[in-house]
Amino acid sequence: MPYDFLESSFRNLIASIKYQPLQDFVNAAFFKHGIWEKFHVWPAAISLHHAYTNGLLEHSVSVAEGAIGISKHYSEFGIPVNLDLVIAGALLHDIGKTEAYSIFPSPSMTVAGNVIEHISMGYYMFMHCAELEKLEDDITMAIAHIILSHHGKREYSSPVVPATPEAMIVNTADDLDFKLSYWKLQMDSIGGGAEMTDYLSLVERKLWRGIKPR
């Protein structure tokens, strides 16, 4: 994705948060408290998915837009979803990666990334900003819950599992974004002639190219 498109998508997502104090908070977290500085260039991983410059920005925009689509669908089917929380939570869910990874001299995991991990680091960074910006307590807890639960399972390094519609939706959009980008990467790497990958421990399955649309 071209960088300019990603940056304007990111800014438009923030601007689409309707509750002004929350929109102001997300702007402040990224642009006043310095998260944006690394966030807009960082990879989302050291290898495997979005492991390239701007990968974290691309992944976060993709998760937010996917999560908005899921939220709108379920709102129409009678599930009350707080769209502002979904957008804020999706944009903030992986901020800990800016401290868990370093890109100089080459992409690698920091010591803190190894021993504290990006979910705990993201939670800490978010809570620090929330305190400085005096974000309301209930909104703070709801977004903290999205950040802490976004991997969906305790064995996948989330200390809590998603308990709200907003957290379930961000977790699902995050997981889907990872799996689809990993599928694309694998298909590109096995070449046009091959149908299936070998067993991939990361996704605990072999991946199939599927059939072409007619």
| Near Fe ion in 84-103, by CB under 5 A | 94
58 binds Fe ion per the rule CB under 5 A:
no
Rg of the chain (C-alpha set): 17
Shortest Cβ distance from residue 182 to Fe ion (Å)? 12
Q: Please, which residue, 132 or 160, has the CB nearer to Fe ion? A: 160
Q: Please, which residue, 91 or 207, has the CB nearer to Fe ion? A: 91
Instruction: Please report where in the chains the tokens 């309301």 appear, as a residue.
Output: 136
How far is the C-alpha of 25 from the C-alpha of 126, rounded, in Å? 10
How many residues in the shown chain lie near Fe ion by CB under 5 A? 2
Q: Please, which residue, 27 or 120, has the CB nearer to Fe ion? A: 120
| Near Fe ion in 153-212, by CB under 5 A | 174
* 109 to 18, 106, 149: CA distances (angstroms): 36, 10, 21
One-letter amino acid identity for 27? N
CB 40 within 8 A of CB 53: no
Shortest Cβ distance from residue 86 to Fe ion (Å)? 14
CB 149 within 8 A of CB 163: yes
Shortest Cβ distance from residue 213 to Fe ion (Å)? 28
Q: Please, which residue, 48 or 190, has the CB nearer to Fe ion? A: 48
DSSP annotation of 196: B
Interacting residues toward Fe ion by CB under 5 A: 94, 174
